[in-house]
Structure 1
Amino acid sequence: MTRTAQGAAKAPRPPARERILSTATTLFSEYGIRGVGIDRIIAESGVAKATLYTHFKSKDALALAFLAGVDVAWREMLTDAAAAAGDDPADQLVGLFDAIDAASENGRFRGCPFLNTASESAPGSPAHRATVEHKRAVRAWTGGLAEAAGVREPALLARQLTVLLDGAMAAAALEPTDDVLPAVRQAARHLVEAARPSSASGD
């Protein structure tokens, strides 16, 4: 192989900020924010301490960047799972739970990163507020699907389904058995059907 070919075959190294955030995302997801020190992130991302603090002023700032990335990724998984269930919003309200399958494909699912982070954070702290904002956004999106499905109380159904979603993620992380998600989907279907007007259910 020529020197030119060798150079072409070697992928360029990602920018420092990207490496830091990617490393932090992997470690925070696996061990929690409190369980990972800045020195480990520096060592595994291959940057100098000054470089890390150039891009992230504190560990809290890095944690918020981690949560922002998780927010985008998780909401995309939810919308993709809902869309895959078909055009009926009622089916989409059940299908969104398949996002847990997508999140656990690598076999290392650790539950909801937002709830995990909130459990380590003081109420009112930036990380705790980010969790509340994320959960409200997911609930509002779910409420929109519920309205489109024509249920009687969309806000109530959205609250019920998102609480079920959080519980399902906890169960999938603690006891990743094959019967968790089918049971959750069945419960979601019952909630959706019960919330629909009597005429829609054939009564």
Structure 2
Amino acid sequence: MSKALAETPSKSDADSTPIPPRERILTVARELFYRHGVHAVGVELIAEAAQTNKMTLYRHFKSKDELVVAYARGLAEDGDALWKRLATTFPDDPGKRLNAWVDHVEEILTSSAERGCALANAAVELQADHPARTVIEDYKRRKRSHLVELFRDSRYHNPELLADEVFLLFEGARISIQCGGREPALRVVEMLRDLLARAPRDAT
């Protein structure tokens, strides 16, 4: 176990309020699953890193599979929250909303901590009938729908086709990073901006 995980605090820095065990378990599982993979991380390591025990872990999650579902659901909720923030911040300006999303993509792809999309990484490890796969697939469909809506609001002529192209660019770049292709992935933002600049749309 890493030093950072061994020193995971059980209280928040802000108000010294004890962090509930379920939250600690999910936080640690999220880090370990992303870093090492779902299959490689056992419940013993998660419980130890969360400063609890297997009995407590199983009190909150009946099985590791249930924990993996909660992990995927939390990631999906974070992704959904991004689109809500963009809509709230730029409710009447799709151009700024689009630019903010592209900036978000750039931030992800240039982060030294990026190891690919956590949901996609998990999906590769899971059987087709695993319940977390449904969470992941539903989220990816919502993400594409958000892109279609964003491009439609930005007055692009073929928002669905553009959404597919952009979706594949971003998803492919993250997979490339996971496979060691960081340099090609770093070119994706430039490719994305060029694609959006060239795609036909109505004058605003």
* TM superposition score normalised by structure 2: 0.78
Any idea what SS the aligned residue of 1:196 has?
coil
Q: Which range moves more in the overlay, 46-55 or 100-109?
A: 100-109
Any idea what SS the aligned residue of 1:188 has?
helix
Computing the radius of gyration over CA atoms, which structure comes out larger, 1 or 2?
1
Runs of at least 4 residues off by over 6 Å:
81-87
**1:21–1:104 CA distance, 2 compared to 1 (3 A):** farther
Hey, what does 1:107 align to over in structure 2? Answer: 112
Structure 1 position 13, deviation (Å)? 2.6
Q: Distance in 2 between matches of 1:73 and 1:81?
A: 13
In structure 2, list runs of 5 or more residues that go unmatched.
1-13
1:24 equivalent in alignment to 2:37 = no
2:155 pairs with 146, 150, 155, which one?
150
2:42 pairs with 37, 50, 67, which one?
37
Hey, what does 2:68 align to over in structure 1? Answer: 63
Within 5 Å, give how 1:53-92 maps onto structure 2: 53-77=58-82, 88-90=93-95, 92=97
Q: 1:115-153, CA deviations, whole angstroms, 9 ceiling, x for partnerless residues? A: 100100122321222221111011111111011011112
Hey, what does 2:6 align to over in structure 1? Answer: none
Q: Distance in 2 between matches of 1:25 and 1:135?
A: 19
Q: Distance in 1 between matches of 2:167 and 2:48?
A: 38
Give the count of matched residue pairs. 190
Q: Percent same amino acid among aligned pairs?
A: 31
Structure 1 position 162, deviation (Å)? 1.1
Q: Distance in 2 between matches of 1:72 and 1:63?
A: 14
Q: Distance in 1 between matches of 2:45 and 2:109?
A: 25
* TM superposition score normalised by structure 1: 0.78
Hey, what does 1:137 align to over in structure 2? Answer: 142
Structure 1 position 60, deviation (Å)? 1.1
**1:104–1:184 CA distance, 2 compared to 1 (3 A):** closer
Q: Is the 8 A contact 2:173 2:188 kept in 1?
A: yes
**What value does the CA root-mean-square deviation take over the aligned residues?**
3.1
1:165 equivalent in alignment to 2:166 = no
Q: Distance in 1 between matches of 2:46 and 2:135?
A: 22
In structure 1, list runs of 5 or more residues that go unmatched.
1-8
Q: Is the 8 A contact 1:81 1:98 kept in 2?
A: no
Structure 1 position 87, deviation (Å)? 6.6
* Residue identity in the other structure for 2:116: G
**1:39–1:105 CA distance, 2 compared to 1 (3 A):** farther
Hey, what does 1:4 align to over in structure 2? Answer: none
Q: Distance in 2 between matches of 1:168 and 1:81?
A: 22
